[in-house]
Amino acid sequence: MAGSASHGPTPEHIFETLNAHQRTAALKAAVELDLFTAIDEGNHRVPEIAKRLNASERGVRILCDFLTVLGFLAKEGFAYKLTPDSALFLSKRSPAYMGTIVEFLTNPQHFENLALLTETVRKGRTTYSRGSNLEPNDELWVSFARSMAPLTRPTALFIADLLRAAGRGPGECLI
């Protein structure tokens, strides 16, 4: 975090925070391109990854190098491989795939709201002008329901295990 007593103050935390949007954009692009699945399928070098993604080699190399710096990929020589987190959560080949959360967490409306944050703080209420998201089937909440479902998987598996341990089947009450 911020400077320590032994090293003194540093602007590092400020720069990291102000540039965090770059990390978000890179991860979003990688998920949308299906980069992690492509690597998981055995495409480890830039030319084969680029071909699989139908993208430019230069763009793929830059994105892969940045994702390596961020810890989402590992690089050995000219080959990229997935980290354990990326393999488990960002490859569509994994049953624990969570890439769909990108749809909601990077929804443009969130960024529009953040762009208005100074004014929102001043007024003490939202300054977003496109509605309140309270209507039935609001686009934002439909996106939430569709994209955030992978987060419910661990809980669902836990409950299923509890039901099995209690000798109950689906639909049978525990109490």
Amino acid (one-letter) located at 4: S
pLDDT of 173 strictly over 70? no
Q: Read off the pLDDT of residues 119-154 as tens digits, 9 standing for 90 and up.
A: 888 988 877 666 666 677 777 777 777 777 777 777
The mean-pLDDT minimum among 12-26, 77-91, 94-108, 121-135 falls in: 121-135
Domains of the chain: 1-97 (1.10.10.10)
What is the average pLDDT value for the chain, to the nearest integer?
86
Contacts 24+ apart (CB under 8 A), 70-78: 70/23, 70/26, 70/27, 72/27, 72/30, 72/36, 73/39, 78/45, 78/46
* Band of residue 117 on the pLDDT scale cut at 50, 70, 90: confident
Residue 78 CB partners (closer than 8 Å, separation 6+): 45, 46
Tens digit of each residue's pLDDT (9 = 90 or more) over 44-58: 999 999 999 999 999
108 or 42, greater pLDDT: 42
- Positive/negative CA dihedral, 57, 42, 22, 120: positive
